[in-house]
Amino acid sequence: MPVYEYKCNKCGKTFSLFLTYSEYDAAVVSCPGCGSDGVQRIIRPVRVTKGEKARLRDVTEEAAGNNSSQMLGKVMRTIQENSGRELPPDTNEALTRLERGESPAEIDKDYQ
Ligand SMILES: [Zn+2]
């Protein structure tokens, strides 16, 4: 699940979102700060050290073999920690629920 970074054109806030590829196609992204949907995606490489890269690969492989919500949550948390950025509260809450083992489908329902 890739991380997308956005910058609000109205208030200048930058924020990160976790979206699946299909979600990214359909998503209307709005600023968590001011609610404006005038946001632009920031494309830049995420700075990851060699050690972090290895750790990320490990948890990704573990999740792929495991296919559980907790593992998905763990992967997403690792990506977020590597990015060094705060998550918007909604995203952080969804991630916390994933880590608790709630299914992505259940969580999605609450964020429609
Ligand atoms: Zn804004």
CA of 89 to the centre of ligand 1 (A): 15
CA of 12 to the centre of ligand 1 (A): 6
Q: What is the pLDDT of residues 82-111, one digit of tens each?
A: 777 777 888 888 888 888 888 877 877 877
pLDDT for residue 9: 95
**CATH (one of 2.60.40, 2.20.28, 2.60.120, 3.40.50) for 1-44:** 2.20.28
8-12, 68-72, 99-103: the lowest-pLDDT one: 68-72
Q: Which range among 16-25, 32-41, 70-79, 82-91 has the greatest average pLDDT?
A: 32-41
Rounded to an integer, what distance in angstroms lies between the CA atom of residue 8 and that of residue 29? 10
CA of 40 to the centre of ligand 1 (A): 11
Number of neighbours of residue 43 by Cβ within 10 angstroms: 7
CA of 11 to the centre of ligand 1 (A): 4
> Domain locations in the chain?
1-44, 46-112
User: 11, 46, 2, 3: which is closest to 32 by C-alpha?
Assistant: 11
Mean pLDDT over 14-29 rounds to 82
pLDDT for residue 79: 79
Q: What is the pLDDT of residues 27-68, one digit of tens each?
A: 788 999 999 999 998 876 556 666 766 766 776 666 666 657
